[in-house]
């Protein structure tokens, strides 16, 4: 993994990366995105850390990456052929991101503030963001529009990533992916640890894709951890801003990074099990049975389970936890809470004593006050209608009183942030 | 609630439909009942049959009160 | 100088043990008993201006005791009120918890008490006042004072306390946001490694837990025993005179059924919102079996059916919330000479 | 299978199947489902499907089994927890939801609800 640090982003006549500055030819990229006939217009804007800028409603956040060597290309199944990725070298424009917005439905959510109170909670407030506002042609149905916005983001990120293809990165991080048998030989005395990654998969605006396949139609399966770093998993989920996993989260999965950080020293990181969060209860039973089975099959000693979304995924989380613990595999779960504005309510929709080791991303009902911003990219009038906002959330002076749920990535259930609750 | 009564020193029998919940809340003498909306009755039966059913269940509860137990015990038929 | 009022019981006030548990509230200037240790631990930053004490039995049996205690405390205009610590003494724990939570609620003054984790006062009051963890007996007094005094000083100054684990109090159940040093995923890896190594770890969100109670001995002579009915199925006299709420009821009903042979749809109904009420309203005996209990009474199977039954609304999954008032009416059942209880739930 | 819904689009889409129309709120659908579970039916879909909070969308669809058996503990806990969660969210009221919600937004809420239940019940 070649890390190319980006500290600034600017519009320019030529798209290129020079030093730590990312230059973008606005018209060229715009034309590229508008090749999609579903789209009528595309506006590009820039939002940098510290600026008095609010982006809303945010659909997805994507980090620009490019494959330098090794099989396949970034975002397989979408921007590249369906080849297995995760080997060779990938260059990353670290510090930059593509943020997509678009009002697909009338209650779209997600705010990123580039400064002030809100910036403390969203990891994306610290990035140099290229913001895409795309509008569909008249009569486009929501399903088609969602897909168009999703692809526009991937396209833009791929376009930017390619600018870094020939750059020799100063910092290179190496991630080891031994096979199971090699791993046992390498680290016979270290505890074998896996990661169970739960993916939201329930329907329109609630989907996740793996190598181009809708996760709800997939059985629980396995990935090498590095596959996620090349965009094997992308997000089509844009409900519940605070605890959805954006594509950026999947590319930079913190559990994978932190397990790698201890790999070979304190533990043997065996692999990633991906499982879904479906609506049909029999699916939940089957998927969690399979996660437990795979944990057992891999001979794991321990597993970290991360969640995505609100409400019914609590059921998947607890099922996974209970069944994996029942196989004798020790678990830690990562979740977030809806404990009410006063913090006094029951936090999870489901609970079990097997879940005795829990990390939390904080209470999504926490009330926050976001100051007025000089500039708004997107549609501010939605604030009164998004999750965590209520009628009157948008104050007359342009400031916002709302619950933390409005902030994109605020209570991430992969443990991306330091925010928590006790 | 059942626990507080027990803790106060009074033998108590819990008649309830959802035995796992009764076990979770710490009841020691448990008699399973018919259904949540009608634990001690069954509208599908005739009035007499229903009365007999109730008497049988409550009778079982009295028996449970007379039975020494070590820990959580479910009194089925 | 921070002004402290200290609440203790008759024993720590030096009045005597159980034989003096019936003395009404009294107030004296300055410190008494364990207050001396607190005063020393304050190191001149705070001072106990008055000590209020009351017999534990008196406090628990006289509803007006709490009002008297609050009035006595109010006169002193303290910056903080310390109660106990009560260690594992049940009635003392309930008294300390009641004083601490009522002072906080009614006077808006910060309060602090201390108990052992099996003290019933912990569960009853931990969400309403700060309760520091202590040992189970007065042998832990020195340690308890050393832990409580600095926390009391900071509370009196209006400082925010840290997490329950860091400060040594029982988790209040109120979730507070904070920024940790490490991100969540790194904390998860740390926690997992500890769990794998069999070391102690602390979950960030404790799952609800349930404790157990030893079963009481069997009833030897049911034919001469007084049996009471209690229900969480919400059966109340028609019209719901006590306005029992349909869910998470905040109080219970106590109803006289002397002479009532059978419940009918004209006289009784359910106030419960947690199930389809059609069947219980049509025949309330389906939830509260007064009819067959009367028959057992006539047949001599039981001695008598208690004149009163108690009704609450307990959602099956939230039965634990009913424990507050179960504590209270259990005492009344004993006072009425009830020897066995049939509790019906839906 | 019985589909309980207060969403006309769901009732329309599944008109050839066993739909029980609930003329009421999101909560009323949950209550109806609860009563059916109390009578021994099983839940087939999660009552809190989707990530829309219960105080946002006014629509809800839930599938339960046609056949009745013994009380299903898992279904019972799921539905009771769902109602509890609903009531928790109801404490923050949204006056712009329900009667005052613009039709376009209602249509979107119906669409999401339909999409979620379709994803669950396709081919079943």
Contacts of D69 in chain B (CB under 8 A): none
CA distance C113 to C83: 5
Under a CB-based contact definition with an 8 Å cutoff, are residues C153 and A384 in contact? Answer: no
Split at pLDDT 50, 70, 90, the class of A390 is low
Rounded mean pLDDT, D28-53 = 93
Here the contacts of C131-136 (C-beta below 8 Å, separation 24 or greater) are C131/C97, C131/C100, C131/C169, C131/C170, C132/C85, C132/C167, C132/C168, C132/C169, C132/C170, C133/C168, C133/C169, C133/C170, C134/C85, C134/C87, C135/C87, C136/C87, C136/C88
Phi and psi at residue D4, to the nearest 5°: -90, 130
Q: Are residues C6 and C128 in the same domain?
A: yes
* CB within 8 Å: A360 and C165: no
* CB within 8 Å: A204 and D91: no
Contacts of B73 in chain C (CB under 8 A): 215
* CB within 8 Å: D71 and B17: yes
Note the pLDDT of residue C62: 85
Catalytic residue selected from A238, A242, A295, A321: A238
* CB within 8 Å: C286 and B40: yes
Q: Are residues C43 and C162 in the same domain?
A: yes
* CB within 8 Å: A360 and C205: yes
Three-class secondary structure of residue A3 per DSSP: strand
- Minimum Cα–Cα distance from D118: chain A residue: A203
* CB within 8 Å: D71 and B20: no
* CB within 8 Å: A310 and D53: yes
Contacts of D78 in chain B (CB under 8 A): none
For an interface test with C, the pick among D83, D85, D88, D90 (most C C-beta atoms closer than 10 Å) comes out as: D83
Q: Strands C80-87, C2-9: parallel, antiparallel or unpaired by DSSP? A: parallel
* CB within 8 Å: C286 and B41: yes
CA distance A351 to A365: 19
**DSSP single-letter state for residue D37:** H
Tell me whether B42 touches chain D (CB under 8 Å): no
Q: Are residues C251 and C325 in the same domain?
A: yes
Q: Is residue A413 part of a domain?
A: no
Q: Which pLDDT tens digit goes with each residue over A194-204?
A: 999 999 998 88
- Minimum Cα–Cα distance from C248: chain D residue: D84
Tell me whether D68 touches chain B (CB under 8 Å): no
Is it the case that residue D89 has pLDDT exceeding 90?
Answer: no
Is it the case that residue A269 has pLDDT exceeding 90?
Answer: yes
CB pairs under 8 A between A and D: 130
Closest CA to A279 of A213, A201, A350, A205: A201
Give the per-residue SS3 of chain C. Answer: CEEEEEEEECCCCCCCCHHHCCCCCEEEECCCCCHHHHHHHCCCCEEEEEEEEECHHHHHHCCCHHHHHHHHHHHHCCCEEEEEEEECCHHHHHHHHHHHHHHHHHHCCCEEEEECCCCHHHHHHCCCCEEEECCCCHHHHHHHHHHHHHHHHHHHCCCCCCCHHHHCECCCCCCCEEECCCCHHHHHHHHHHHHHCCCCCCCCCCCCCCCCCCCCCCCCCHHHCEEEEEECECEEECCCCCCCCCCCCCCCEEEECCCCCCCCCCCEEECCCCCCCHHHHHCHHHCCCHHHHHHHHHHCCCCEECCEEEECECCHHHHHHHHHHHHHHHHHHHHCCCCEEEEECC
Note the pLDDT of residue C321: 47
Split at pLDDT 50, 70, 90, the class of C225 is very high
* CB within 8 Å: D44 and A346: no
Is it the case that residue C42 has pLDDT exceeding 60?
Answer: yes
Rounded mean pLDDT, A53-77 = 95
Q: Select the residue of D38, D77, D84 nearest C275 (Cβ to Cβ).
A: D38
- Minimum Cα–Cα distance from D63: chain A residue: A280
Note the pLDDT of residue C209: 63
Cis peptide before A144 (omega within 30 of 0): no
CB pairs under 8 A between B and D: 15
Q: Are residues C91 and C235 in the same domain?
A: no
* CB within 8 Å: D80 and C247: no
Under a CB-based contact definition with an 8 Å cutoff, are residues C216 and B11 in contact? Answer: yes
Note the pLDDT of residue C250: 63
How many other CB atoms are found less than 10 A from the CB of residue C24?
Answer: 14
Q: What rounded mean pLDDT belongs to chain A?
A: 92
Is it the case that residue D98 has pLDDT exceeding 70?
Answer: no
CA distance A157 to A24: 12
Q: Select the residue of C177, C188, C208 nearest A362 (Cβ to Cβ).
A: C177
Q: Select the residue of D82, D92, D124 nearest A390 (Cβ to Cβ).
A: D92
The number of distinct structural domains making up chain A is 1
* CB within 8 Å: D84 and C276: no
A238 is catalytic: yes
Note the pLDDT of residue A93: 97
Q: Is residue A120 part of a domain?
A: yes
Note the pLDDT of residue D113: 94
Enclosing H/E stretch for D112: helix D103-121
* CB within 8 Å: B18 and D39: no
Q: Is residue C214 part of a domain?
A: no
**DSSP single-letter state for residue A156:** H
Split at pLDDT 50, 70, 90, the class of B2 is confident
Contacts of C212 in chain B (CB under 8 A): 3, 26, 71-72
Q: What residues of A are in the D interface, CB distance below 8 Å? A: 105-107, 142-143, 200, 202-206, 216, 237, 239-240, 244, 278-284, 309-312, 315, 338, 340-341, 345-346, 349-350, 365, 384-385, 387, 390-391, 403, 405
Tell me whether C316 touches chain D (CB under 8 Å): yes
For an interface test with A, the pick among C205, C318, C321 (most A C-beta atoms closer than 10 Å) comes out as: C205
Q: Select the residue of B16, B28, B40 nearest C215 (Cβ to Cβ).
A: B28
Tell me whether D76 touches chain B (CB under 8 Å): yes
Q: What percent of chain C has a predicted confidence (pLDDT) above 70? A: 95
Q: Is residue C239 part of a domain?
A: yes
Is it the case that residue C63 has pLDDT exceeding 90?
Answer: no
Q: What percent of chain C has a predicted confidence (pLDDT) above 90? A: 70
CA distance B72 to C213: 10
Tell me whether C247 touches chain A (CB under 8 Å): no
- Domains of chain B: which residue ranges? 2-74
Tell me whether C212 touches chain A (CB under 8 Å): no
Under a CB-based contact definition with an 8 Å cutoff, are residues A111 and A379 in contact? Answer: no
**DSSP single-letter state for residue A166:** T
Q: Is residue A33 part of a domain?
A: yes
Note the pLDDT of residue D52: 85
B69: closest CA of chain D, how far (Å): 26
Rounded mean pLDDT, C68-84 = 95
- Minimum Cα–Cα distance from A282: chain D residue: D44
Convert A383-396 to b/e letters by CB count within 10 Å (16 or more is b). Answer: bbbbbbbbeebbee
Q: Which pLDDT tens digit goes with each residue over C168-216?
A: 999 887 888 999 999 999 999 999 999 999 999 999 998 766 667 889 9
Is it the case that residue C324 has pLDDT exceeding 80?
Answer: no
Binding partners of D (≥3 Cβ pairs within 8 A): A, B, C
Which residue range(s) make up the domain with C110?
Answer: 2-167
One DSSP character per residue, D58-108 reads ---EEEE-SS--S--HHHHHHHHHHHHHHHHHHTS--TTSGGGS-HHHHHH
- Maximal CA-CA distance, chain A: 65
Closest CA to A216 of A275, A134, A141, A271: A275
CA distance to A289, A393, C58, per residue, from A398 (Å): 49, 10, 58
The number of distinct structural domains making up chain C is 2
Tell me whether A353 touches chain C (CB under 8 Å): yes
Laid out side by side, the sheet with A2-5 consists of: A65-69, A89-94, A2-5, A171-172
Q: Select the residue of D56, D93, D115 nearest A204 (Cβ to Cβ).
A: D115
Lowest mean pLDDT among A12-26, B61-75, C156-170, C226-240: C156-170
Q: Which pLDDT tens digit goes with each residue over A10-58?
A: 999 999 999 999 999 999 999 999 999 999 999 999 999 999 999 988 9
Q: Is residue C273 part of a domain?
A: yes
* CB within 8 Å: A366 and C177: yes
Q: Which pLDDT tens digit goes with each residue over C106-133?
A: 999 999 999 998 887 887 788 889 999 9
Q: Is residue A209 part of a domain?
A: yes
Note the pLDDT of residue C171: 85
Q: Is residue C185 part of a domain?
A: no
Tell me whether D38 touches chain B (CB under 8 Å): yes
- Minimum Cα–Cα distance from D83: chain C residue: C274
Q: Which of C101, C136, C167 is the last residue of a domain?
A: C167
Contacts of C276 in chain D (CB under 8 A): 35, 38
Three-class secondary structure of residue D57 per DSSP: coil
C-facing residues of B in 27-66 (CB < 8 A) are 27-29, 33, 36-41, 43, 50-51, 54-55, 57-59, 61-62, 65-66
How many other CB atoms are found less than 10 A from the CB of residue B48?
Answer: 8
Is it the case that residue B49 has pLDDT exceeding 50?
Answer: yes
- DSSP H helical segments within A168-224, as ranges? 180-186
pTM of the model: 0.81
Three-class secondary structure of residue A32 per DSSP: helix
Rounded mean pLDDT, A83-100 = 96
Rounded mean pLDDT, C223-233 = 94
* CB within 8 Å: B35 and D40: yes
Note the pLDDT of residue A383: 66
Which residue range(s) make up the domain with A118?
Answer: 2-406
Split at pLDDT 50, 70, 90, the class of D106 is confident
| Partners of residue A61 on adjacent β-strands | A99
Tell me whether B70 touches chain C (CB under 8 Å): yes
Three-class secondary structure of residue B45 per DSSP: coil
Q: Is residue A422 part of a domain?
A: no
* CB within 8 Å: D77 and C275: no
Under a CB-based contact definition with an 8 Å cutoff, are residues C263 and C290 in contact? Answer: yes
Binding partners of C (≥3 Cβ pairs within 8 A): A, B, D
CB pairs under 8 A between C and D: 16
Q: Is residue C209 part of a domain?
A: no
Split at pLDDT 50, 70, 90, the class of C246 is confident
Three-class secondary structure of residue D23 per DSSP: coil
| Partners of residue B31 on adjacent β-strands | B15
Is it the case that residue A141 has pLDDT exceeding 80?
Answer: yes
Three-class secondary structure of residue A8 per DSSP: strand
CATH of the domain at C90: 3.40.50.2300
Contacts of D71 in chain B (CB under 8 A): 17-18, 35-36
Is it the case that residue D97 has pLDDT exceeding 80?
Answer: no
Three-class secondary structure of residue A77 per DSSP: coil
Is it the case that residue D120 has pLDDT exceeding 50?
Answer: yes
Is it the case that residue A256 has pLDDT exceeding 80?
Answer: yes
Q: Is residue A411 part of a domain?
A: no
CA distance A334 to A341: 21
Note the pLDDT of residue A353: 80
């Amino acid at each position: 993994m070649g890390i190319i640090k980006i500290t600034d982003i600017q519009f320019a006549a030529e798209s290129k990366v020079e030093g730590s500055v990312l230059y973008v030819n606005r018209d060229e990229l715009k034309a590229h995105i508008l090749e999609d006939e579903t789209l009528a217009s595309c506006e590009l804007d820039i939002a940098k850390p510290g600026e008095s800028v609010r982006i809303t409603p945010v659909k997805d956040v994507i980090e620009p990456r490019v494959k330098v060597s090794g099989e396949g290309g970034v975002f397989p199944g979408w921007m590249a052929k369906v080849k297995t990725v995760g080997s060779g070298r990938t260059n990353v424009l670290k510090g930059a991101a593509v943020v997509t917005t678009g009002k697909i439905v009338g209650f779209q959510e997600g705010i990123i503030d580039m400064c002030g109170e809100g910036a403390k909670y969203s990891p994306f407030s610290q990035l140099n963001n290229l913001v895409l506002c795309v509008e569909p042609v008249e009569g486009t149905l929501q399903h088609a529009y969602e897909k168009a916005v999703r692809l526009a983001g991937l396209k833009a990120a791929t376009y930017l990533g390619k600018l870094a293809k020939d750059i020799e990165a100063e910092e290179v991080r190496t991630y080891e992916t031994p096979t199971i048998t090699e791993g046992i030989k390498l680290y016979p005395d270290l505890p074998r640890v896996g990661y169970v990654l739960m993916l939201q998969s329930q329907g329109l605006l609630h989907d996740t894709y793996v190598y181009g396949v809708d996760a709800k139609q997939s059985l629980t399966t396995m990935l090498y951890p590095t596959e996620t770093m090349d965009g094997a998993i992308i997000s089509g989920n844009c409900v519940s801003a605070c605890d959805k996993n954006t594509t950026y989260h999947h590319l930079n999965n913190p559990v994978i990074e932190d397990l790698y950080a201890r790999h070979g020293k304190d533990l043997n990181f065996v692999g990633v099990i991906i499982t879904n969060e479906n609506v049909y209860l029999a699916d939940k039973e089957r998927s969690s049975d399979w996660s437990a089975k795979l944990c057992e099959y891999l001979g794991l000693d321990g597993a970290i389970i991360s969640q995505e979304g609100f409400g019914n995924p609590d059921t998947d989380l607890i099922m996974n936890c209970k069944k994996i613990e029942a196989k004798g595999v020790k678990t830690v779960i990562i979740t977030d809470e809806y404990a009410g504005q006063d913090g006094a309510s029951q936090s999870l929709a489901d609970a079990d004593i097997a879940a005795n080791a829990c990390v939390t991303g904080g209470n999504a009902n926490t009330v926050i006050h976001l100051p007025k911003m000089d500039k708004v990219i997107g549609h501010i009038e939605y604030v009164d209608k998004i999750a965590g906002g209520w009628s009157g959330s948008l104050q007359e002076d342009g400031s916002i009183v709302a619950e933390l749920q409005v902030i994109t990535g605020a209570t991430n259930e992969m443990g991306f942030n330091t925010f928590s609750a006790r | 609630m059942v626990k507080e009564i027990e803790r106060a020193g009074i033998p108590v029998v819990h008649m309830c439909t959802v035995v796992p919940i009764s076990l979770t809340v710490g009841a020691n003498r448990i008699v399973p009942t018919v259904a949540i909306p009608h634990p001690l009755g069954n509208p599908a039966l005739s009035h007499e049959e229903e009365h007999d059913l109730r008497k049988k269940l409550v009778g079982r509860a009295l028996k449970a009160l007379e039975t020494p137990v070590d820990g959580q015990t479910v009194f089925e038929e | 100088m921070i002004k402290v009022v200290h609440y203790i019981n008759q024993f720590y006030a030096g009045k005597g043990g159980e034989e003096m548990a019936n003395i009404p509230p009294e107030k004296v200037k300055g410190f008494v008993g364990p207050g001396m240790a607190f005063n020393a631990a304050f190191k001149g930053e705070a001072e106990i201006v008055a000590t209020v004490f009351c017999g534990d039995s008196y406090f628990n049996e006289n509803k007006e005791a709490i009002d008297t205690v609050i009035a006595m405390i109010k006169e002193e205009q303290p910056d903080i009120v310390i109660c106990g610590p009560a260690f594992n003494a049940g009635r003392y724990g309930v008294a300390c918890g009641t004083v601490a939570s009522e002072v906080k609620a009614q006077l808006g003054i910060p309060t602090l008490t201390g108990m052992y984790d099996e003290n019933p006062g912990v569960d009853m009051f931990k969400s309403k006042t700060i309760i520091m963890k202590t040992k189970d007996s007065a042998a832990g007094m020195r340690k308890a004072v050393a832990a409580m005094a600095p926390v009391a000083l900071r509370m009196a100054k209006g400082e925010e306390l840290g997490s329950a684990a860091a400060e040594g109090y029982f988790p209040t159940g109120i979730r507070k946001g904070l920024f940790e040093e490490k991100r969540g995923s790194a904390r998860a890896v740390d926690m997992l490694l500890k769990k794998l190594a069999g070391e102690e770890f602390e979950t960030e969100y404790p799952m609800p837990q349930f404790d157990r109670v030893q079963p009481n001995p069997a009833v030897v002579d049911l034919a001469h025993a007084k049996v009471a009915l209690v229900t969480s199925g919400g059966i109340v006299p028609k019209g719901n005179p006590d306005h029992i709420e349909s869910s998470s009821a905040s109080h219970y009903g106590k109803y006289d059924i002397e002479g009532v042979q059978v419940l009918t749809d004209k006289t009784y109904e359910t106030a419960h919102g947690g199930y389809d009420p059609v069947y219980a309203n049509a025949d309330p005996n389906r939830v509260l079996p007064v009819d067959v209990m009367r028959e057992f009474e006539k047949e001599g199977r039981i001695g008598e059916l208690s004149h009163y039954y108690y009704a609450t609304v307990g959602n099956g999954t939230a039965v634990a919330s009913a424990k507050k008032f179960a504590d209270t009416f259990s005492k009344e059942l004993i006072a009425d000479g009830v020897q066995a209880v049939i509790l019906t739930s839906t | 299978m019985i589909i309980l819904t207060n969403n006309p689009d769901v009732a329309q889409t599944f008109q050839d199947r066993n739909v029980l129309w609930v003329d009421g709120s999101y909560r009323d659908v949950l209550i109806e489902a609860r009563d059916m579970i109390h009578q021994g039916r099983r839940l087939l879909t999660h009552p809190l499907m989707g990530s829309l909070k219960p105080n946002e969308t006014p629509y809800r669809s839930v599938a339960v089994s046609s056949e009745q058996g013994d009380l299903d503990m898992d279904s019972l806990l799921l539905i009771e927890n769902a109602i509890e969660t609903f009531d928790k969210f109801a404490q923050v009221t949204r006056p712009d939801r329900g009667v005052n919600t613009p039709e376009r937004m209602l249509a979107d809420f119906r669409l999401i609800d339909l999409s979620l239940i379709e994803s669950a019940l396709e081919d079943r």
